[in-house]
C-alpha cells in the first residue's frame, strides 16, 4: 500500500492546475474597442437618456435578456449590488422579515439588512445544499414578505416546492443564481424562476468581468425600481412624480463600459465554459466511485449542474472514525488544490448572534419577531451546522482548469487516502 503523503509518502497528484482563465482575443478586442472610444462610462445620474448607461452597457443588457430569456436584464457593478437593488425594489418596510438560506455567501443576507429588514434563516436540505422547502412555513410570521433563494454550488434549489410555499403565503421570490448561470431546472433557466434573479460577474464565477453583476426580471415595475436604485434614485424621483417613493434611496451601482464589453464576449462563451466544467466534474465523479461513506452530488431529475463547487458529504461512520479535517488534510497533502473542509454558516456570524449591525443599539434586530431571532446561532439550522462542522467537504472547481491527467490523479489520491483511512484514524 502506498504511503500517504501526509505521513511522508509521495504525493499522488503531480499535475499542473492552471488558474481558471477564459480570456482571449475576444476580450482584448472588447477592451480596446472601449479604450479607443474614450468613453469608459456613459451614465448620468439624472433623468435623461443616459440615465440607463452607455452603448456597451445597453448592448450587454440586450444580450443577457436574450440569453436568459427575460424581459429585463439590468447590469450592476457586483451581484452584491444586484441583491441590494432586488430587495429594495420590493415593497418592504424596516422590520419586515425575509427568509434566506444560511448556506450561501454572506451578501445574500446582508442585502436584506441594508434595507433595515430582517434576514430569517431557513435550514437547508442535503440533496442540493439549498433551502429546505419543508422548513419554510415554520419561519413565516405576519411580517414575512419575501424569500431569497440561492442556487448554491451551481444547482437550483427545490424551486417547485419553494415557489408553491411562496405563492401560498404571498411572498416574493428573489433567486440568487450567482453560482448557477446557464443551469436548467425542469426546462426553465435557473435565475428566472422567481420574481427577480441574477448572476455574479465576479472573478471567481463561471463568466466574469472582474467585478459585476446581472439582474433579471420579467416585471416592468420591479425593473424600473432597480434601475433607479442602481443610479441615484433620490435625484430622479423629482422628475418622475408618477413613481412611488418608498425605498427610492439610490447608490452608484453602475457597471463600466469596459466591463460590459468584456461581459458580452464572456456571455458568448458561457455554454462552452459550462460544457467543459461539466466534463471535468463528471470525470472527477467517475473517479470518486466506490469510496465507502462518501456521498457524491448529482443533478436532480430534469436539472443540470454548473459545478461551481463539487460538494461532497461524509457518512456518520467516517465522521466518527476519522473525521473530515484529517481526511481533508490528507487529500491536500496528496496535492489536490482547492479541497475545502467548510463552506458558510451565515446564521452563526457575530452580526447575527450578537445582533449588532447599525450602531450599538441592536437596530434593526430590535424590530424582529422572536421567531426571526431564533433563526440565529448554534442549533438554529442543524443540517447546515452538521454539514459545516462534520459532514461537508468540497472541491472548489471554480478556481482552476482540470486536465484529463489531473482528474485521473485526483481520483487516485482519493482512493489512496481511503485505502489508508485506518492509519489516519
Site for ligand PLP, rule CB under 6 A: 78-80, 104-105, 107-108, 150, 176, 178-179, 200, 202, 213
Q: What is the DSSP letter of 377?
A: S
Helices (H), 324-373: 324-333, 350-353, 370-373
Classify strands 118-121 and 184-185 as parallel, antiparallel or unpaired: unpaired
The upper half-sphere exposure of residue 283, i.e. CA atoms within 13 Å in the direction of its Cβ, equals 17
In the bound state with ligand PLP, the residue whose beta carbon lies nearer, of 197 and 287, is 197
Minimum distance of ligand PLP from residue 199's CB (angstroms): 8
Minimum distance of ligand PLP from residue 204's CB (angstroms): 7
366 vs 424: CA distance, rounded Å: 48
In the bound state with ligand PLP, the residue whose beta carbon lies nearer, of 150 and 335, is 150
Minimum distance of ligand PLP from residue 108's CB (angstroms): 5
Q: What is the DSSP letter of 387?
A: I
267 vs 280: CA distance, rounded Å: 20
407 vs 403: CA distance, rounded Å: 6
Residue 409: exposure state from Cβ atoms within 10 A (0-12, 13-18, ≥19): buried
Minimum distance of ligand PLP from residue 106's CB (angstroms): 8
In the bound state with ligand PLP, the residue whose beta carbon lies nearer, of 81 and 313, is 81
Nearest alpha carbon to residue 86 among 256, 316, 247, 309 = 247
Nearest alpha carbon to residue 29 among 202, 210, 209, 258 = 258
Residue 114: exposure state from Cβ atoms within 10 A (0-12, 13-18, ≥19): middle
Minimum distance of ligand PLP from residue 176's CB (angstroms): 5
Place of cell 418592504: 92
Peptide bond into 187 cis (omega under 30): no
In the bound state with ligand PLP, the residue whose beta carbon lies nearer, of 115 and 418, is 115
In the bound state with ligand PLP, the residue whose beta carbon lies nearer, of 178 and 410, is 178
In the bound state with ligand PLP, the residue whose beta carbon lies nearer, of 173 and 333, is 173
In the bound state with ligand PLP, the residue whose beta carbon lies nearer, of 68 and 414, is 68
Q: What is the DSSP letter of 297?
A: P
Minimum distance of ligand PLP from residue 183's CB (angstroms): 13
65 vs 217: CA distance, rounded Å: 9
Minimum distance of ligand PLP from residue 344's CB (angstroms): 9
In the bound state with ligand PLP, the residue whose beta carbon lies nearer, of 95 and 210, is 210
Minimum distance of ligand PLP from residue 107's CB (angstroms): 5
Amino acid at each position: 500500500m502506498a504511503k500517504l503523503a501526509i505521513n511522508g509518502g509521495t504525493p499522488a497528484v503531480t499535475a499542473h492546475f492552471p488558474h481558471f482563465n477564459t480570456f482571449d482575443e475576444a476580450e482584448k478586442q472588447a477592451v480596446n474597442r472601449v479604450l479607443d472610444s474614450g468613453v469608459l462610462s456613459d451614465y448620468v445620474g439624472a433623468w435623461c437618456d443616459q440615465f440607463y448607461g452607455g452603448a456597451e452597457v445597453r448592448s450587454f443588457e440586450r444580450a443577457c435578456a436574450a440569453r436568459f430569456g427575460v424581459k429585463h436584464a439590468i447590469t450592476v457593478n457586483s451581484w452584491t449590488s444586484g441583491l441590494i437593488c432586488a430587495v429594495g425594489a420590493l415593497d418592504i418596510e424596516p422590520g419586515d422579515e425575509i427568509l434566506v438560506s444560511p448556506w450561501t455567501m454572506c451578501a445574500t443576507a446582508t442585502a436584506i439588512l441594508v434595507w433595515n429588514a430582517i434576514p430569517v434563516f431557513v435550514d437547508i436540505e442535503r440533496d442540493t445544499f439549498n433551502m429546505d422547502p419543508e422548513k419554510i412555513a415554520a419561519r413565516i410570521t405576519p411580517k414575512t414578505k419575501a424569500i431569497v433563494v440561492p442556487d448554491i454550488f451551481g444547482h437550483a434549489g427545490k424551486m417547485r416546492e419553494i415557489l408553491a410555499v411562496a405563492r401560498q403565503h404571498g411572498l416574493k421570490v428573489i433567486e440568487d443564481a450567482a453560482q448557477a448561470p446557464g443551469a436548467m431546472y425542469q426546462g426553465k433557466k435557473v435565475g428566472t424562476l422567481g420574481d427577480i434573479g441574477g448572476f455574479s460577474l465576479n472573478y471567481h464565477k463561471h463568466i466574469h468581468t472582474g467585478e459585476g453583476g446581472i439582474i433579471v426580471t420579467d416585471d416592468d415595475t420591479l425593473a424600473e425600481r432597480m434601475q433607479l436604485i442602481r443610479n441615484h434614485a433620490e435625484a430622479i424621483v423629482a422628475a418622475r412624480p408618477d413613481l412611488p417613493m418608498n425605498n427610492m434611496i439610490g447608490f452608484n451601482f453602475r457597471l463600466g463600459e469596459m466591463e460590459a464589453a468584456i461581459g458580452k464576449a464572456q456571455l458568448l462563451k458561457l455554454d462552452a465554459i459550462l460544457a467543459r466544467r461539466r466534463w471535468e466534474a463528471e470525470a472527477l465523479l467517475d473517479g470518486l466511485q466506490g469510496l465507502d461513506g462518501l456521498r457524491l452530488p448529482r443533478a436532480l431529475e430534469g436539472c443540470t449542474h454548473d459545478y461551481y463547487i463539487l460538494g461532497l458529504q461524509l457518512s456518520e461512520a467516517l465522521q466518527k472514525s476519522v473525521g473530515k479535517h484529517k481526511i481533508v488534510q490528507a487529500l491536500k497533502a496528496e496535492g489536490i488544490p482547492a479541497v475545502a473542509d467548510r463552506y458558510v454558516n451565515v446564521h452563526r456570524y457575530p452580526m447575527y448572534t450578537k445582533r449588532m449591525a447599525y450602531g450599538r443599539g441592536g437596530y434593526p434586530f430590535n424590530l424582529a419577531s422572536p421567531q426571526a431571532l431564533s433563526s440565529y446561532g448554534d442549533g438554529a439550522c442543524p443540517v447546515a451546522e452538521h454539514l459545516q462542522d462534520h459532514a461537508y467537504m468540497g472541491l472548489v472547481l471554480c478556481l482552476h482548469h482540470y486536465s484529463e491527467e489531473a482528474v485521473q490523479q485526483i481520483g487516485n489520491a482519493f482512493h489512496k487516502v481511503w485505502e489508508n483511512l485506518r492509519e489516519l484514524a
